[in-house]
Amino acid sequence: MLDFSEGFTPATHLLITLAAPLVGAVAAWLLGHRGLQAVRQSAAVTSLITLALAGTLVLRFLGSDAATAGGFFAACELEWFVSGPLDIRFSVGLDGLSVWLFGLSALLTVTAVFVSWDAVKEKAVGFYGLLLLLEAAMLGVFAARDIILFYVFFEFTLVPLFFLIGIWGHDDRRRAAVKFFIYTFAGSVLAFLGLLAIVLWHASHTGVLSFDIATLTAGLTSHPLPMTPEWGYLQLWVFIALFVGFAIKVPIVPVHTWLPLAHVEAPTGGSVDLAGVLLKIGIYGFLRFSLPMLPEAAAIAAPWLVALGAIGIVYGALVALVQKDLKRMVAYSSVSHMGYCVMGLFALEPVAVEGANLQLINHGLASAGLFATVGMIYERYHTRKIAELGGIASQTPWLATFFMLFTFSAIGLPGLNGFVGEFMILAGTFQRAWSGVSAEWSSTYLTLSLLAVAGVVLGAWYMLQAVERVLFGQTRGATAGEHGQHAHDLAWYEVAALAPLALFIVWIGVYPSPFLKASAHAVTASTQASSEAFAARVSASPTQEMAAHTTSNQHAP
């Protein structure tokens, strides 16, 4: 496949991008004896090269047919475990669902490397090596077109992060790492069973044992998993199995409690990748597998998931409001914000789904930025307790400015990226509630969408309360003491970590259209089946749509 005679084909480009972090990890290991500076410089170079490769690949994607007409870009496959009936291939490619997450992974690794620049000095070889392994795994998850390959990368994201938390974490790092690992691993084992069930069903009904995701999707469209009592509602069970795995990743309330612990104990670099990318794999899994492959089950589950999303928004916000640890508060804000993604996705309206897909990127940027700045605050004042901090804006104004920007993005201030996704999710969900569900569901849906809009107020409350206490006011506690006197403003490597995030936060906020367009086709395609199944369920209900709601006045004459 690696045939350079055709020039630098997209497929070659993708393979090199995937391999680059691995090469970098080896390079960091080889340079280990030359000290910290060499190691971190090599890691930075690797992550920048990978970002350049991934960035240009995204640009090539945008110029391709895949961006406008759907389908995979840079598709290529290598035989991997091909023996007898097994046909597991190392097949990779990018489509509208994965392209931005792929780019985000590369971008956030750069941030992760630079925020660790001064924070990680012990066992740096291992740290940066694992960080680059994590990048390879994240890029692989989004590039995989083979269901087994996806699962391998999916699991493999856990391993580097487990060690990053367990070794370079804070006081309670062992417990956090183990809880994180066992919790998410238990979920993904179930998800694996679900994926296997899909493969086996497909094989037994088409006679082809395929692990190719596109083939499976097409096969399951013509031979859907049964939703009848005689088959024991098999499709629903498969959906539940996948759901458990993905829901823990997202995480959806109530299976979220590993997240605050993991974040609080993780080193900053790990938190950046965890919040920025790894949480997105759950939603990505729904979009890639559950919705297109199991539409009837998804249609049944949709109202429940909209409810869980809305509850998560408010619940996460409420819990965040009383947190005393700044990082824990940001972690709960992630729980709240991922609630928007879940709600938007399962509203199954085009506007909401595209908003949810964009919100993955938005939350990735904002939460990574918040975790990074919280880490920088910790570096300076050696505490994350909100009560111990105050008046940071007068000591380190640029750090405060970035923190403010990420806060504004997180609370969905218009003009920044968070607003676009949040608004589309809420508008689409509202549309679903108003005219897209049966009468008996309508009031529930309306209540949920209004609850979610109210969550926007709560979201502003806890974030701005933290800003008021941490950034503003007089210095106190740790900031008034010795640490405060020596606190310096952002160093060059910290600017390098934050500035790219800020750039994209403003860019997506002001001009989101290209970001939405590139994904529109793929997102619509993968939710269409579920959306139609949901519509069928609604129209099958005894009472008709709620259109009467809106039309009573106009049709009167």
How near is the Cβ of 107 to other proteins at its closest, in Å? 22
Among 167, 197, 203, 491, binds other proteins (CB under 8 A): 167
Binding to other proteins (CB under 8 A) within 66-105 occurs at: 78-81, 90
Return the number of the residue (201 or 243) whose C-beta is nearest other proteins: 243
Stretch that binds other proteins, among 39-47, 57-65, 193-201, 468-476 (CB under 8 A): 468-476
Return the number of the residue (293 or 427) whose C-beta is nearest other proteins: 427
Binding to other proteins (CB under 8 A) within 242-261 occurs at: 253-258
How near is the Cβ of 78 to other proteins at its closest, in Å? 4
Name the β-bridge partners of 87.
82
Binding to other proteins (CB under 8 A) within 26-55 occurs at: none
Among 30, 86, 182, 536, binds other proteins (CB under 8 A): 182
Maximum distance among all Cα pairs of the chain, rounded to whole angstroms: 84
Return the number of the residue (302 or 471) whose C-beta is nearest other proteins: 471
CB atoms within 10 A of CB 482: 10
Return the number of the residue (233 or 504) whose C-beta is nearest other proteins: 504
Binding to other proteins (CB under 8 A) within 422-441 occurs at: 423-424, 426-428, 430-431, 434-435
- The structure tokens 């503003």 sit at 472
Contact indicator for 467, 377 with CB cutoff of 8 Å: no
Return the number of the residue (77 or 206) whose C-beta is nearest other proteins: 77
How near is the Cβ of 161 to other proteins at its closest, in Å? 11
Stretch that binds other proteins, among 96-104, 205-213, 227-235, 465-473 (CB under 8 A): 465-473
Contact indicator for 357, 287 with CB cutoff of 8 Å: yes
Query: DSSP string spanning 267-308?
Result: -HHHHHHIIIIIHHHHHHHIIIIIHHH-HHHHHHHHHHHHHH
DSSP character at residue 91: E
Return the number of the residue (276 or 512) whose C-beta is nearest other proteins: 512
Q: Is the dihedral of CA 9, 13, 18, 21 positive or negative?
A: positive
Residue 495 binding other proteins, by CB under 8 A: no
Contact indicator for 371, 501 with CB cutoff of 8 Å: no
Residue 512 binding other proteins, by CB under 8 A: yes
How near is the Cβ of 282 to other proteins at its closest, in Å? 17
Among the listed residues 527, 103, 510, 518, the one whose alpha carbon sits nearest the alpha carbon of residue 344? 527
How near is the Cβ of 235 to other proteins at its closest, in Å? 27
E strand or H helix at 453 = helix 439-470
Query: In whole angstroms, what is the distance from residue 416 CA to residue 421 CA?
Result: 10
Query: In whole angstroms, what is the distance from residue 437 CA to residue 491 CA?
Result: 53
Return the number of the residue (88 or 297) whose C-beta is nearest other proteins: 88
Binding to other proteins (CB under 8 A) within 522-551 occurs at: 524, 547, 549-551
Among 214, 460, 495, 506, binds other proteins (CB under 8 A): 460
How near is the Cβ of 101 to other proteins at its closest, in Å? 20
How near is the Cβ of 174 to other proteins at its closest, in Å? 6
Residue 414 binding other proteins, by CB under 8 A: yes
- Number of residues counted as binding other proteins (CB under 8 A): 93
Return the number of the residue (237 or 434) whose C-beta is nearest other proteins: 434
Reduced to 3 states (helix: H, G, I; strand: E, B; else coil), residue 314 is helix
Return the number of the residue (467 or 498) whose C-beta is nearest other proteins: 467
And the tokens for 34?
Answer: 């030359």
Among 221, 511, 544, 548, binds other proteins (CB under 8 A): 511
How near is the Cβ of 205 to other proteins at its closest, in Å? 29
And the tokens for 64?
Answer: 């391709």
- φ, ψ for residue 169 (rounded to 5)? -80, -170
CB atoms within 10 A of CB 492: 9
By residue count, the chain amounts to: 557
Query: Judging by beta carbons within 10 Å of its beta carbon (0-12, 13-18, 19+), is residue 394 exposed, middle or buried?
Result: middle
Binding to other proteins (CB under 8 A) within 186-245 occurs at: none
Which residue type sits at 410? Answer: A
Binding to other proteins (CB under 8 A) within 311-370 occurs at: 315, 318-319, 321-323, 349-351, 354
Rg (CA), the chain: 23
Among 5, 83, 222, 474, binds other proteins (CB under 8 A): 474
Among the listed residues 379, 372, 351, 324, the one whose alpha carbon sits nearest the alpha carbon of residue 500? 372
Name the β-bridge partners of 545.
438
Return the number of the residue (155 or 379) whose C-beta is nearest other proteins: 155
Query: In whole angstroms, what is the distance from residue 498 CA to residue 368 CA?
Result: 9
How near is the Cβ of 409 to other proteins at its closest, in Å? 11
And the tokens for 164?
Answer: 């990053």
How near is the Cβ of 482 to other proteins at its closest, in Å? 20
Binding to other proteins (CB under 8 A) within 126-165 occurs at: 126, 133, 136, 152, 156, 159-160, 162-163
Binding to other proteins (CB under 8 A) within 382-401 occurs at: 391, 393-394
Among the listed residues 70, 69, 66, the one whose alpha carbon sits nearest the alpha carbon of residue 57? 66
